[in-house]
A = this chain, B = another copy of it.
């Protein structure tokens, strides 16, 4: 053990006592997340206050040691992976500090609080926190802030960034700053709040967030639309969105996804359909069936008539169960699930479906497609046998083709999962050399020693493609 490490260990021990973890078993368990790859940190500390975070960052700054914030490790892009070793700050134990102000429609929360807890707190006051990533029961709000998490309500209510109005942040030199405030409108100074949300822990460590809440819609109603071809499903999305009705959710499952769910759970789904679209509308109860009828009428104009409205809450819950079961249904034992989230302009959804189908056939891979149709955010998901070198290579090629096509048709590499380690090789393709150069200027200005979550989100020398296996 070198001198630097001994000194850091001594100082961390003074601050954290038994909340400093050094056992190999502990270090290993902090070295992976819901993406893939395994890295080894040198220290893990369980932080419980802004002051502790500040002390760790000051140490990291003094000794030029990497430092990573980590919540529940549900990241699909490797956002929290300690790829350069160093100190992992585990926020998950600091999980019960929040204050809700129902009259101001805001909640102040520490990053370790679970997202699901925030939903419950808001609902107690007849309010809603709309962002709802699939992992909301287990994930922490801190990870949602770092990655700018989305979820199915994005189409009507936006994503995490749209609900963060203020932050407390520990910056790379250990300074604690406050950005934004407690008001919905705020144009004082540069918007560091929105710069930090989605910056994946590379510009500062968030220690508190002020989230705005909205009135909880009184009721919801859901319909399922069944399509015989993919092209029409794509046209239907634009048709619905220009009908005057704003759906609160609009999720699509392709033929493969819905058959996987049917195999898994036997829910009487239309196995022959090319795709199904699940639509939820929300608001005043009497109005919901009217809104679904407006959608029906609009779809009739393009000859889409196979629409089933869920007549009861049970039927509605069953439909949303279908969507929730996609992820478990597509996991095959012994295989690694690669979840992508390339996002395309709404009118390009049919082309994207077709392209993914071509890629699936070309590489003979197990790809299903589902996702947030209303905002063009698809989740092509591949099961890969990581022990089969040939298959890994094909998967890498297929993912690269998906990325390239998404960019070609005006889309983006990532709608809600983040760049992390997964997609950094492709960032220049989307943003251009100058775009990346200006991004890196900001990184260098705010974190000149590159201690905050290093190894992301820009490619290093030679990192030119997706690599699934890092041996």
Contacts and interface: CB of A to CB of B under 8 A. Distances in A.
A270 interface: no
A352 B243 CA distance: 41
So how many copies of this chain end up in the complex? Answer: 2
Contacts of A191: 148, 161, 194-195, 197-199
A21 interface: no
A280 interface: no
A195 B198 contact: no
Contact of A154 (B184, B411, B431): B184
A290 B284 CA distance: 8
Contact of A188 (B102, B184, B427, B438): B427
Interface in A161-216: 161-162, 171, 175-179, 181-192, 194-195, 197-199, 203, 214-216
A241 interface: yes
Contacts of A418: 187
Nearest to A156: B214
Interface string A431-452: 1101111110111111000000
B147 A187 contact: yes
Interface string A285-305: 011001100100000000000
Contacts of A161: 191, 194
A242 B187 contact: no
Interface string A91-109: 0000000000111111000
A412 B105 contact: no
A29 interface: no
Nearest to A176: B434
A435 B217 CA distance: 37
Contacts of A183: 343-345, 375-377, 410-412, 415
B457 A189 contact: yes
A244 B177 contact: no
Interface string A337-381: 000000111111000000000000000000000001001110000
Interface string A145-160: 0011010001100110
Nearest to A430: B188
B284 A103 contact: no
Contact of A287 (B215, B286, B347): B286
A161 B436 CA distance: 22
A135 interface: no
A215 B175 CA distance: 44
Nearest to A239: B103
A254 interface: no
Contact of A194 (B195, B417, B434): B195
A126 interface: yes
A361 to B, nearest CB: 26
Contacts of A177: 431-432, 434-435, 438
A188 B77 CA distance: 11
Contacts of A184: 154-155, 343, 375-377
A171 B438 contact: yes
Contact of A414 (B102, B186, B427, B444): B186
Interface string A392-423: 00000000000000000011111111110001
A418 B186 CA distance: 9
Contacts of A187: 147-148, 198, 412, 414-419
A134 interface: no
Contacts of A104: 238, 345-348
14 contacts: A125-B242, A177-B434, A181-B410, A181-B412, A185-B415, A186-B414, A187-B198, A187-B412, A191-B194, A215-B243, A217-B244, A245-B284, A441-B446, A445-B445
Given A104-B238, A154-B185, A186-B412, 9 more contacts: A105-B238, A127-B242, A148-B191, A179-B431, A181-B411, A182-B345, A185-B415, A190-B195, A442-B442
